[in-house]
Structure 1
Amino acid sequence: MKKGDFILIFTLLVIFCFSFVYINKSFVSTEDKYISVQVNGEEIKQITFGNKKNIYPIRTSFGLNILEVDKDGVRVIEASCPDKLDVKFGKISKVGQAIICMPNRLVIQIKSRQNNDLDVVN
């Protein structure tokens, strides 16, 4: 390999590293995310992420779901629905992700407080 090849490879690696850092920094921080709890299409609760684990019972006329929220995300730990798909779904942590419980008409979605025009792709 010639000297020019090494310079080109080094330059491309530097550009790649800076791009990687920029992309990771541009994603939404924990302080800008919140959990939207919706029942039958209407938002009934907004929950912020915290450093310690918190339990939130969501009791409606359709049933009961118990949420566990910590700094890493949110998950349903107990539900009154027969299939328990929302419990089996596990933890979500990224903006745009959602857990849906059809029998209880519940949607748990992570949203951003930032007002940007970009769509989130997971």
Structure 2
Amino acid sequence: MLKLRRGDVLLIVILLVLGSAWLLFRQAMESQQSYDPGTLVAEINVDGEHYKSVPLDSAEQSIDIRTEYGHNILKVFDHGIQMIYADCPKKISMQMGFISRPNETIICVPNRIYVEIVHTGGAPAPAEDGIDAYVR
């Protein structure tokens, strides 16, 4: 039987606290950033090839994708995109939900569809008034 010593337990606790602090810090930093919907685009790739780029500030629309691998429907609304239909067996891509922030993805492996939100230009809007520049 494996016996843990006081130092082992202390090391495990320290690593758990540091890992949790890092994750909370990243989540807090990401939640403070806001992006202009006019600068966000959903890049849709099918079988590794570019299929379509859809600006997320456009009107509500449905994108019907029929390939030799399967059938999917994406819906663009509220400055984001969501997979609303997939004919693959487990429908995991539909469970990925609504995405609207840069670097979020929807992936349908059996149908070889990859959707990613991309920030096309401009700096993220600051969450609060802050320093505009630093001159030395």
> Normalization by structure 2: what TM-score?
0.62
Deviation string 1:12-68 (CA, Å, 9 cap, x unpaired) is xxxxxxxx9xx64xx431001111000111111011124542111111111111001
Deviation string 1:60-112 (CA, Å, 9 cap, x unpaired) is 11111100101331100000111100111110010100000000010011011
In terms of fraction of residues, the more strand-rich structure is 1
CA distance in structure 2 between the partners assigned to 1:75 and 1:44 by the alignment: 16
Residue equivalent to 2:87:
80
Amino acid of the structure 1 residue aligned with 2:121: Q
Percent identity over the alignment? 30
- CA shift in 2, pair 1:50/1:80, >3 Å: same
Residue equivalent to 1:71:
78
- Runs of 4+ that moved beyond 2 A: 50-53
How much is the aligned-residue C-alpha RMSD, in angstroms?
2.0
Task: Give the 3-state SS of the residue equivalent to 2:95 in structure 1.
Answer: helix
CA distance in structure 1 between the partners assigned to 2:43 and 2:109 by the alignment: 16
- CA shift in 2, pair 1:77/1:93, >3 Å: same
CA distance in structure 2 between the partners assigned to 1:59 and 1:83 by the alignment: 18
8 Å CA contact retained: 1:50, 1:69? no
The count of corresponding residues between Structure 1 and Structure 2 is: 93
Greater shift in the superposed pair: 102-111 or 47-56: 47-56
Q: How does 1:22-61 map to 2 (within 5 A)?
A: 24=33, 27-50=34-57, 52-61=59-68
